[in-house]
């Protein structure tokens, strides 16, 4: 259970190209497996989550070739379809792998069992089982938790309104819809990240988007894109440095090559309301995604409330926004009950860790409040409960604390951002 000890720093400063986006990487890898031809990808997300997706598609008959220069090539199964795997498919800690893969496999006449680690095995899967069963797939899991066994076959199109605003549910249904008879439609309760919809045309697939209604016709064939597919930088990773810069007076960072997808940028609006100066520049389009630079400078502290309708646009950034609030602001979040079914119960584990570091924080059933107005946290020992986003959030608290701090199960950071500690060394301005 590796523990990381951190001493306070003065500020962060400099320029950083953040690693590739995890959500987009999963989609390119899974669509690359489905496609006929070779998909060549650069700058895939570096962590264990995307490795899980690559491992699963390899076990299903796609060929995965990695070069030392970081380029990953996938030869998809194309018209032959996936081959029955020799054993269970290990999705490790990755909910995106498990849910999207279940949808991808639902239309093929093979059986596969999807397994995961203790965290993933406790997360709700009925949310994808119900629509996939309604389409005609057989999907079995005890108590709606992994292991999940998918036995695919001929699918009928459905129109589905998920109970939760979740891009994973939407994407599982759309991927299954590619093999269904007719037009499958998802009507989202609130707009979620649209990386699947943006990735489809890159692989020669079409879908129709009308606000929160997304439809896909069955019987389409995916083809690999020509040339190299570049994955833009991960805004959730950029958000960690943005929150740290907004926490430490004198900080100024430029985060380059970041996916500036509007459905991922809720944290930018929140940080601005909290007093930081945040600018977005150099936008270009890469593989259907807007990409550019996020510049952040510390600004005077202000309090804010995150409303329920903002939550889908910053769901993964709530822990680092809470950490930023610990340095001088009050932040209240409601309508974020989905946080309880992430890699950990991110409401109770976040609040417990913040308190352990000397921060005033309270839970609501569907959110939390952090009050950092009394002064800098004193430090202490926080448990990240094997959750990568909590490791980074507690690091943001610790680095601006008045005393030393340590974080338990800090190795979980390898799920999404194994280079975090090295990048911290590059950006930090040590105390005098
Ligand atoms: C993701 C969607 C979100 C997010 C997760 C990645 C995706 O989950 O929290 O980290 O890649 O589709 P939900 O769809 O469950 O909200």
- The domain spanning residue 333 has which CATH number? 3.65.10.10
Residue 32 domain flag: yes
Query: Which residues lie with the beta carbon below 6 Å from any ligand 1 atom?
Result: 23, 26, 96, 166-168, 171, 193, 315-316, 338
Question: Same domain for 267 and 338?
Answer: yes
Q: What angle do CA 315, 206, 89 make, to 5 degrees?
A: 60
Atom 4 of ligand 1: nearest residue by CA position: 316
Choose one of 189, 217, 245: the last residue of a domain: 217
Residue 227 domain flag: no
Average pLDDT of the residues in 323-348:
98
Residue 181 domain flag: yes
Contact 162/186 with Cβ under 8 angstroms?
Answer: yes
Residue 226 domain flag: no
Q: Rounded to the nearest 5°, which phi and psi values hold at 133?
A: -65, -40
Question: Same domain for 329 and 396?
Answer: yes
Choose one of 187, 217, 247: the last residue of a domain: 217
Tell me: the pLDDT tens digits for 258-308?
999 999 999 999 999 999 999 999 889 998 999 999 999 999 999 999 999
Distance 257 CA to ligand 1 centre (A): 21
Provide the number of structural domains found in the chain. Answer: 2
Structure tokens that stand for 324 in this block: 């930023």
Mutate to test the pocket of ligand 1, among 20, 45, 92, 167 (most ligand atoms within 8 A of CB): 167
Residue carrying structure tokens 């119900």: 130
Question: Same domain for 183 and 284?
Answer: no
Distance 99 CA to ligand 1 centre (A): 10
Cα–Cα distance, 35 to 38 (Å, whole number): 8
Question: Same domain for 13 and 26?
Answer: no
Question: Same domain for 188 and 306?
Answer: no
Cα–Cα distance, 319 to 330 (Å, whole number): 14
Q: Taking the mean position of all CA atoms in its chain, how far away is CA 104?
A: 19
Question: Same domain for 124 and 160?
Answer: yes
Cα–Cα distance, 292 to 188 (Å, whole number): 28
- Report the percentage of the chain scoring pLDDT > 90: 98
Tell me: the pLDDT tens digits for 35-68?
999 999 999 999 999 999 999 999 999 999 999 8
pLDDT higher than threshold 90 for residue 417: yes
Residue 27 domain flag: yes
Q: What are the residues facing 216 on neighbouring strands?
A: 184
Written as one string, the DSSP assignment of 295-337 is: EEE------EEE-GGGGGGTGGGHHHHHHHHTTT-EEEE-S-G
Collect all residues with Cβ–Cβ distance below 8 Å to 205 and sequence separation of at least 6.
31, 178, 216, 220, 222
pLDDT higher than threshold 90 for residue 352: yes
Atom 10 of ligand 1: nearest residue by CA position: 316
Question: Same domain for 283 and 140?
Answer: no
Residue carrying structure tokens 């938790």: 145
pLDDT for the residue numbered 1:
66
Question: Same domain for 45 and 169?
Answer: yes
Crossing angle between the packed helical segments 235-245 and 420-427, to the nearest 10 degrees = 40
pLDDT higher than threshold 90 for residue 431: no
- When the pLDDT of each residue in the chain is averaged and rounded to a whole number, the result is 97
Task: Report if pTM > 0.95.
Answer: yes
How many residues in the chain?
Answer: 432
Structure tokens that stand for 291 in this block: 């990409």
Question: Same domain for 210 and 236?
Answer: no
Question: Same domain for 287 and 198?
Answer: no
Residue 165 structural domain: 22-217
Mutate to test the pocket of ligand 1, among 44, 93, 96 (most ligand atoms within 8 A of CB): 96
Question: Same domain for 260 and 367?
Answer: yes
Active site residues: 316
Contact 399/9 with Cβ under 8 angstroms?
Answer: yes
Question: Same domain for 158 and 172?
Answer: yes
């Amino acid at each position: 259970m590796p523990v990381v000890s951190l001493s306070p720093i003065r500020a962060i400063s400099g320029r950083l190209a953040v690693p590739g986006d995890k959500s987009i990487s999963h989609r390119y890898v899974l669509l690359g497996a489905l496609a006929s031809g070779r998909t060549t990808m650069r700058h895939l997300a570096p962590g264990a989550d995307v490795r899980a997706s690559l491992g699963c598609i390899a076990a299903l008959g796609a060929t995965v070739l990695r070069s030392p220069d970081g380029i990953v090539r996938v030869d998809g199964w194309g018209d032959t379809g996936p081959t029955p795997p020799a054993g269970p498919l290990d999705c490790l800690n990755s909910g995106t792998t498990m849910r999207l893969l279940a949808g991808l496999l639902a239309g093929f006449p093979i059986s596969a069992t999807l397994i995961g680690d203790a965290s993933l095995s406790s997360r709700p899967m009925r949310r994808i089982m119900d629509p996939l069963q309604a389409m005609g797939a057989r999907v079995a899991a005890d108590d709606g938790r992994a292991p999940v066994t998918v036995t695919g076959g001929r699918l009928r199109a459905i129109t589905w309104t998920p109970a939760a605003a979740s891009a994973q549910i939407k994407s599982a249904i759309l991927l299954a819809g590619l093999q269904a008879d007719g037009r499958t439609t998802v009507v989202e309760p609130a707009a979620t990240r649209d990386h699947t919809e943006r990735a489809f045309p890159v692989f020669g697939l079409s879908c129709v988007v009308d606000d929160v209604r997304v439809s896909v016709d069955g019987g389409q064939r995916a083809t690999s894109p020509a040339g190299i597919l570049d994955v833009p930088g991960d805004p959730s990773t950029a958000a960690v440095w943005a929150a740290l810069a907004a926490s430490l007076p004198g900080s100024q960072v430029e985060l380059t090559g970041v996916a500036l997808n509007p459905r991922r940028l809720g944290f930018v609006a929140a940080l601005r309301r909290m007093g930081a100066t945040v600018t977005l520049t150099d936008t270009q389009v890469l593989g259907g995604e807007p990409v550019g630079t996020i510049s952040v400078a510390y600004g005077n502290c202000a309090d804010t409330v995150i409303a329920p309708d903002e939550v889908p646009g910053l769901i993964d950034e709530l822990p680092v926004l809470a950490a930023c609030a610990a340095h001088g602001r009050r932040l209240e979040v409601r309508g974020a009950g989905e946080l309880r079914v992430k890699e950990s119960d991110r409401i109770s584990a976040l609040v417990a860790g913040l308190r352990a570091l000397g921060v005033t924080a309270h839970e609501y059933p569907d959110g939390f409040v952090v009050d950092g107005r009394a002064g800098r946290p004193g430090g202490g020992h926080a448990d990240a409960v094997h959750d990568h986003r909590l490791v980074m959030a507690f690091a943001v608290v610790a680095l601006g604390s008045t005393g030393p701090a340590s974080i338990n199960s800090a190795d979980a950071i390898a799920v999404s951002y194994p280079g975090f500690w090295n990048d911290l060394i590059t950006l930090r301005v040590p105390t005098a």
